[in-house]
A and B are shown apart, each in its own frame.
Chain A
């Protein structure tokens, strides 16, 4: 038995390599964005915003190559599912990088405002979990590891919980207008991290589809409390 269509499989591997690269950039951007937020480093935040260009280029490259493979190779079965997954994961990773940019922009807008250490600590925790989720889901994708993909909703749970607590914590700052302004911005940061976590879960759903041929939503957003 010999493998046919080696050129086609090289093209698929190239698409996957670029996705993995996007995932690594996404993890780095989230890490740097949270790091810049914690220490109010506007220059570091600027670096995160600039890094988005690399991810955008990769996104366009994947999209272009994806179209070419679809047009010329007419993939079927697991190859067709992989192509569908690549298109979805490409969008999710590009979105994750955009969310890191959103956090970086908030850091710049929050410059000079007072901080609340408890909220900072919560955001740090959320950021750590979300970056580990993105890292884990991309490893699951590379390893074709269904169990690892299925673990993502569990990882996402504390992120959702921390996000839900943010409004009350910020409301407690209402006596100080400047602290309150900062807190309102941090609600957006928490919401942004929660969205990044959701994108990682969505990627995990795609991995499960790739490996089983059945698409199932791990969680139903319409029934969140």
Chain B
């Protein structure tokens, strides 16, 4: 495990210099009063994850656990490997020929990269929403119905489409034009359509790679509100460049950065992973603090 990583719950307080307040006699203590997170089970367990693209060591020694029905944010500067890690969660890196993943990721206790695991099945359980809305060149209805049809869904498709669009907070805006082209929707609506498409196949995890970075502030807030509703039923992992977005929406935040080795090679590493309120009020690692406060760049 990367020694720099601090997992929540561990009292890995970095050295803060002499005279820490706890060493003095006091008669009253006001501890962390923020609402504790529910003790949800782990959905992913990542151990010693390394990702290489050919000779390039993109991500090194990441160990972390993702909890069920929480929103987990991955933040960090460009090139820190946060999107690479996200793509490992549904084996999207398999689609890149030169990508090599080592270490382990357990999904509900099963090795996600086990020999008998079908990556297509993985992606059915672990959906993904991308930075730029990417609806199919089809009707709104067909965008949502496509995945379930491919998967052999034999229930009431109309009902499934309506439910998915409702959950994605889009139904009221599109219910009268379901046969219209998805391309006629605004950017924000297209992204919510992509979320509806992702949840139509009943995944239990939704991965989001900068889902609001191409949207205006109002559309962004809609997506953020939607995420809060969705986490009742799904676990969400989001990569975002927008730290305030991570602070607003996530339960836990993982901060990644780039380590430059003596050879000059730049590798993504996990620096700190903790409850979001802790990360944004009192991070344990100086590198986290420097990044989120914008002190150094």
Contacts and interface: CB of A to CB of B under 8 A. Distances in A.
Which of A147, A150, A216 gathers the greatest number of chain B CB atoms within 10 Å? A216
A104 B297 CA distance: 52
Interface stretch (B90-98, B167-175, B279-287): B279-287
Interface in B257-297: 279-283, 288-289, 292-297
Contacts of B283: 77
B30 A216 contact: yes
Interface in A91-134: none
B244 interface: yes
A217 B289 contact: no
B24 interface: yes
B293 A147 contact: no
Given A2-B297, A147-B19, A212-B20, A217 B247 contact: no
B159 interface: no
Judged by DSSP, the binding face of A is mixed
Contacts of B24: 150, 218
Contacts of B281: 76-77, 80-81, 213
Contact of A215 (B27, B30, B288): B30
A3 B26 contact: no
Given A77-B280, A220-B28, A5 B21 contact: no
A81 B277 CA distance: 12
Contact of B28 (A4, A75, A150, A216): A216
A98 B247 CA distance: 39
A214 interface: yes
Nearest to B283: A77
Given A77-B281, A77-B283, A217-B30, A146 B19 contact: yes
Contacts of B19: 146-147, 150
B54 interface: no
A200 to B, nearest CB: 17
B115 interface: no
Given A76-B247, A146-B17, A213-B282, A4 B297 contact: yes
Contacts of A147: 18-19
Contact of A218 (B18, B26, B279, B292): B26
A162 to B, nearest CB: 21
A78 B271 CA distance: 18
Interface in A174-225: 208, 211-220, 223
Contacts of B28: 216-217, 219-220
Given A2-B297, A146-B17, A213-B281, A76 B292 contact: yes
B22 interface: yes
A166 to B, nearest CB: 24
Contacts of B293: 5, 75-79
A213 B13 CA distance: 11
B16 interface: yes
Contacts of B294: 4-5, 8
Given A78-B289, A208-B21, 16 more contacts: A3-B295, A3-B296, A5-B293, A5-B294, A75-B293, A76-B243, A77-B293, A81-B281, A214-B22, A215-B30, A216-B21, A217-B26, A217-B28, A217-B29, A219-B26, A219-B28
Interface of B: 16-22, 24, 26-31, 243-244, 247, 279-283, 288-289, 292-297
7 contacts: A4-B296, A147-B19, A214-B282, A217-B27, A217-B29, A218-B26, A220-B27
7 closest Cβ pairs, A-B complex: A213-B282, A220-B27, A220-B28, A217-B28, A147-B19, A5-B294, A4-B294
